[in-house]
Amino acid sequence: MIDVRLLTGPFIPGQFIGPFTNAHPGLGGVCTFVGEVRGEDGVEALELSHYEPLTLPGMQALAQQAVTRFGLMGMLMLHRVGVMRPGEPIVCVSAAASHRRAAFDAVDFAMDHLKSQSWFWKREQRGGEWTWIEPRGQDYADLARWD
């Protein structure tokens, strides 16, 4: 089971993770990562824009790649778009597997791709001013581990 969604409003990760876990009887482990908007350094808001014809199909392909590569029972991938405030979830990736290592690795793999090779444009607001954000060098280094 692959469940990939783009969300335009705030969400509570547990409302998705519980049903996802229950849909996979006999699993050995579930690993979940939830990324939130950081409020450090005066961040007032984060905005994610995207090109809809590419975003959802790209996320679905990434989820399928993770399921195949790590032999998963299923993957849940949720991603917000629009304006978000500090403390709000941006992304939730959850992998169900027979064994914990596959679930850990699949979530790490998916997040490394979403962070540096995704279909989103990000900008932060600080002091009322908006600034575009590019992936960091470490994001590309993290992604390179999977080659």
Give the CATH fold of the 2-133 domain: Aldehyde Oxidoreductase; domain 3 (3.90.1170)
Helix (H, G, I), strand (E, B) or coil at 118: coil
Q: pLDDT tens for residues 59-89?
A: 999 999 999 999 999 999 999 999 999 999 9
All structural domains of the chain with their residue ranges = 2-133
- Whole-number pLDDT of residue 145: 87
**What is the C-alpha separation between 123 and 42, in angstroms, rounded?**
14
Average pLDDT of span 30-42:
94
Q: What pTM was estimated for this model as a whole? A: 0.92
For the packed helices 100-116 and 137-144, what is the interaxial angle rounded to 10 degrees?
140
